[in-house]
Amino acid sequence: MALPTDPIMLLSVVNLKLRDYFKNLDALCEDLNADKTDLCAKLRAVGYEYDAQRNQFV
Domain ranges in the chain are: 7-49
Query: What is the chain's mean pLDDT, rounded?
Result: 97
Rounded to whole angstroms, how far apart are CA atoms 32 and 11?
15
| pLDDT for the residue 40 | 98
Query: What are the tens digits of pLDDT across the range 23-48?
Result: 999 999 999 999 999 999 999 999 99
Q: Give 14-18 contacts, CB < 8 A, sequence gap 24+.
A: 14/39, 14/43, 14/57, 15/56, 15/57, 18/55, 18/56, 18/57
